[in-house]
Amino acid sequence: MRWIQGQNPMPYGFDFGLWTRRLVRERVQREFEVTLSLASIGALLARLGWTAPKPLQRADPRDPQAMERWPRETDPALARRAQNEQAEIYFWDASGFRADAVQGKTWGLNGPTPVVSVPGPRPAISAASAVNGQGACWLDPSVGALNGARFVGLLKQLMDRRRRPLHRVIDGLPAHRKAVVRDSVASTKGRLTLHFLPGYAPELNPDEWVWSDTQRTGHARRPLHKGEKLEPRVTAQLTAIGNHPKRVRSFFKHPVLPILLTYE
């Protein structure tokens, strides 16, 4: 059954992306010339410790080679360059928050799916953050709609009163690639350098854990009270993260990120 782990059925001649009992049975028939019932296939999978959770969906444009190069080549090269330049490295990302976002589960009677009532107006804000391996965290809790000009403003905020050169690692959002952004970076004469992560690979960005942490422990877990505003709540949650360097450092303990955790 090892051929199920980490692979979809398509390489084995099936025109479907999920392993069902029926497809597993057909694969067993081809491989071992044994015919089993669907119930037997289910029982066999259960005995082997297999379950059938809903899979995560990932975009096809991911570049596996670029993702493999990142921890093996790109990450160490960036750390060496920053060390030679006595520069800092920050990972940057933005996220949206909604007051009615349902992130968790709720108890109810077995059978009908619980229904969560939400108000007509749905307060929402966008926030930005940047983190480094030493536990520093920069925050802007209300960035609004992000375009090239707005991103330039955020770059200037992050650079404000900063003496050391800065390497900023970002994703490939269209706003990040605008001409106005390139011109602004060029005007810093080497004090600011942008580095783009491989496309569709959020797991390579430790700043993603800022949003994961906030959504797991923040407003979704402790809903807004009547009359309470979303922005102050999100600001307080993000500030709490930023005030705990050890917590921020833990975001870099992903297997592909340790080089940037140790870099000083």
pTM of the model: 0.70
pLDDT at 264: 42
Range of weakest confidence among 120-129, 166-175, 232-241: 120-129
Q: What is the DSSP letter of 218?
A: S
The answer to whether domain 64-103+122-262 has CATH 3.40.50.970 is no
Report the chain's mean pLDDT, rounded to a whole number.
Answer: 82
Q: What percent of the chain has pLDDT over 70?
A: 76
Count other C-beta atoms under 10 Å from residue 171's C-beta: 20
pLDDT at 25: 87
The amino acid at 102: V
CATH 3.30.420.10 in the chain, residue ranges: 64-103+122-262
Q: 91, 206 in Cβ contact below 8 A?
A: yes
- How much is the average pLDDT of 227-248? 89
Q: Compute the distance between CA of residue 258 and CA of residue 247 in angstroms, rounded to an integer.
A: 15
Distance of CA 139 to the CA centre of its chain: 17
Burial code (b: 16+ CB inside 10 Å, e: under 16) for 211-226 equals bebbbeebbbeeeeee
Give pLDDT tens digits for 148-206: 999 999 999 999 989 999 999 999 999 999 999 999 999 999 999 999 999 888 889 99
